[in-house]
Amino acid sequence: MLNPSRWMPLLGLWLIAIPVHAENMDDLIKVLQDGDCRNCRLADADLVHADLRDADLRDARLQRANLGEAQLDGADLSGANLSFTSLRGASLRGANLEDSVLHGTDLRNADLSGARLSPNALEEAHWQGAKGISSGIQSHAALHNAGVEASQSGRWSQAEQLFSAAILRSPEEPLSWVARGISRSEQAKDDLASQDFGYAALLFEKQGAEGWAEQLNQAADSISSRRYQQTTKEGGSGVGNQILQGTINGLRMLAPLAAKALIPLGLGL
């Protein structure tokens, strides 16, 4: 049970000063009062900075709630609906999130040290910058989608690392090799990018996708040509560079679309 001394002196002022739009105000008061509110209806609640340490929020309806920077250490959120909920910067050390719905949930910069999560729970959540995530929780799709998000923000080095991690999870998935090749090409790592595209082509060919295999082989050859042109100082405006740019632009469009097809993210990329 929560310590009333933490909230009672300010509860009345808090409810007056902050526009709260919880699904059920009685449930909101109950969870702030004693922390025992299983099955609470708290959709759309504004609980920024709330102190809910050790709170019993099992099966709570918290979709679209704002729990940014809230204190949720030791809280039981098992089975809770956290769809599109903001937990950005929240402390969830030792919290139980097993079987909770994390569709579009914002966990960026949250502390998940010791938190209990179901396998692949983060596939549809945003967790960039979160710390304390246990090894193995991040699935191939979650890592790949995080790489796509990083690449769309121009953070190519981080994207490369995320795609590399995704490849370790599922080395037979060609899309992650394509995406890493794009991120490496953007960093002028032409030899490595060419190798990624070439290997992705082999994987697509095994799957019977000969069209994609051919385009990837062309991309690999084009990057090799660019490398040669740069070495011989012939690059910059040649036909080879134009072909390369067209090919890379096509592949750049493929990776985000493929990630969405694998695991649609609620907030979009």
Kindly tell me if the per-residue pLDDT of 5 is higher than 60.
no
Are residues 125 and 169 both part of a single domain? Answer: no
Q: In whole angstroms, what is the distance from residue 216 CA to residue 195 CA?
A: 10
**For the segment 117-128, what is each residue's pLDDT rounded down to a tens digit?**
887 788 788 887
Return the beta strands (E) in the chain as ranges: 96-97, 116-117
**For the segment 225-257, what is each residue's pLDDT rounded down to a tens digit?**
665 555 445 444 343 444 445 555 555 555 544
pTM for this model (two decimals): 0.56
**For the segment 199-218, what is each residue's pLDDT rounded down to a tens digit?**
999 998 999 988 888 888 88
Q: Is 229 helix (H, G, I), strand (E, B) or coil?
A: helix
Are residues 119 and 15 both part of a single domain? Answer: yes
User: Which residues constitute the domain of residue 98?
Assistant: 1-137
Q: Is 221 helix (H, G, I), strand (E, B) or coil?
A: helix
Are residues 3 and 131 both part of a single domain? Answer: yes
Q: In whole angstroms, what is the distance from residue 211 CA to residue 214 CA?
A: 5
State how far the alpha carbon of 173 is from the alpha carbons of 103, 104, 124, 258, in Å.
23, 24, 19, 11
Q: For the chain, what is the domain count? A: 2
